[in-house]
Amino acid sequence: MSASVLLGISGGIAAYKTPSLVRLLVQAGFNVHIVMTRAATRFISPLTLAAVSGNPVFDDMWGDRYRPSIEHISLADAADIAVVAPATANIIGKIASGIADDMLTTVFMALQCPVLLCPSMNVNMYHNPIVRGNIDKLVLLGYHVMQPESGFLACGWEGEGRMPEPETISANIQQLLGSKDLEGERILVTAGPTEEPLDSVRFITNKSSGKMGVAVAARAAARGASVTLIAGPLKVLPPPGIKHISVRTAVEMRDKVLEVFSGMDVVIKAAAVADFRPALTESRKVKKENMNSSIQLVKNPDILRELGQIKRNDQILVGFAAETDDVLENGRAKLREKNLDVLVLNDVSKPGAGFDYDTNIVRFLHRSGEEEQMDIMSKDHVADLILDRVKKLRQASK
């Protein structure tokens, strides 16, 4: 049975981000139930949230059903985790004071599960001593409170007070709900494309978004692992609570990977590293009339092959392969030639698989010769399946 997330939405402008948060949670396999304040309904429609969650949305204690309402208890009992996003100064104050005067606060008074608050307000409100005191009180009571982000605020001020992005909140929820079955494991993940510059403004790259690698890093962290993410330019936010090393080129990625490799138990190479780079890179922009119509390329280092040559027997090495032709044959050859424990094979010609999708269709090729074909599923789900197989291999190596 999937875990149940109770999402409380209070009346702040950041409520407009909540459909994206709900979509991320649903894609990650959670059953999402939503409770709104009446003020929140002025910013985002309950109908929109019901559509993306697939569940009724509650914003009223009474309704028009002429019968006793106990939904506030049933919603609280069913929740594995409860979240308030955005959490305004008003709702934080009410929860801290034990006030239950609407559907949201009444449900939250009945909770017995972990609670995560995502503050969102004007910078001066966030630093008001009363608000800070309420947050400190809730932290002492065991509530989890995220740090708001800094930046331009809807009110025109700039500073702390922005609600964390949906991707960050989703990752935090998954960490709080994680089974911690990978606690103690040191996992290195690579993600994203590399960019190989021609001059100061032009470069060679590929279509990778980094979504798959970031999903692996996020799920590994949620399950208790100590995670290092070495990533090229990402189109998604890296998950919180991990060490993120940003690189640009294949050579930079190789150098950073080799710096930390010996201290890792598991390496999952999800990055789409460019195979070639320009032989000559100009430090300034080259005018088009001065450019040559042909570009001389040189091979980039094969990071995965190099790791396969130096890895210890107790280290697990997982590679990825994106193929369009002779998929199985190429995948089996890569598994063998690069000394991998597992290869995650993608036929990127299939709809819903490969670069920049939220889903993937993969086949696991194992050193043992076993092969597993998976149906289309979210990248979060694929990430957990990869980690399940890593966990089994690590247990066998000890």
> Within this chain, do residues 9 and 85 fall inside the same structural domain, yes or no?
yes
Largest Cα–Cα distance in the chain? 80
Q: What whole-number distance in Å separates Cα of residue 368 and Cα of residue 342?
A: 9
Residues 316 and 387 in one domain: yes
Domain CATH for 237 = 3.40.50.10300
Side-chain-side CA neighbours of residue 267 (13 Å): 30
Residues 102 and 206 in one domain: no
Domain boundary pick from 123, 153, 176:
176
Say yes or no: 190 and 54 in one domain. Answer: no
Report angle CA 13, 17, 22 to the nearest 5 degrees: 135
Other CB atoms within 10 Å distance of the CB of residue 338: 20
The pTM of this model reads: 0.69
**Tokens coding 14:** 């950041």
Would you call 155 a catalytic residue per the annotation?
A: yes
According to the model, what pLDDT value does residue 218 have? Answer: 87
CB-CB contact of 273 with 194 (8 Å)? yes
What pLDDT score does 70 carry? 64
The three-class DSSP label of residue 388 is: helix
Q: Is residue 246 domain-shared with residue 97, that is, in the same domain?
A: no
Structural domains counted in the chain: 2
User: Domain ends where: 151, 176, 201?
Assistant: 176
State whether 42 and 114 are in the same domain: yes
Q: Are residues 116 and 260 in the same domain?
A: no
Beta carbons of 41 and 67 less than 8 angstroms apart = no
133 and 190 part of one domain: no
| pLDDT (tens place) for every residue of the chain, 398 residues total | 578 999 999 999 999 999 999 999 998 889 999 999 999 999 999 999 999 999 999 988 776 544 445 666 888 888 999 999 999 999 999 999 999 999 999 999 999 899 999 999 988 889 999 999 999 999 988 899 998 887 776 667 677 888 988 988 998 898 888 778 999 999 999 999 999 999 999 999 999 999 999 999 988 988 889 999 999 999 888 887 799 999 999 999 999 999 999 999 999 999 999 999 999 888 889 888 777 778 899 999 999 999 999 999 999 999 999 888 888 999 999 999 999 999 999 888 888 787 877 788 999 999 999 999 998 888 888 999 999 999 999 988 77
- The values of phi and psi at residue 292, to 5°, are -80, 145
Tokens 């001065």 label which residue?
290
160 in the same domain as 21: yes
pLDDT at 283: 87
Q: Which two tokens stand for residue 267?
A: 């390496």
Catalytic residue among 51, 130, 154, 155: 155
Tokens, residue 98: 């034990």
Residue 195 shares a structural domain with residue 169: no
Distance (Å, whole) CA 48 – CA 251: 46
Please check whether residues 87 and 184 belong to one and the same domain.
Answer: no
Which residue range(s) make up the domain with 17?
Answer: 4-176
CATH code of 121's domain: 3.40.50.1950
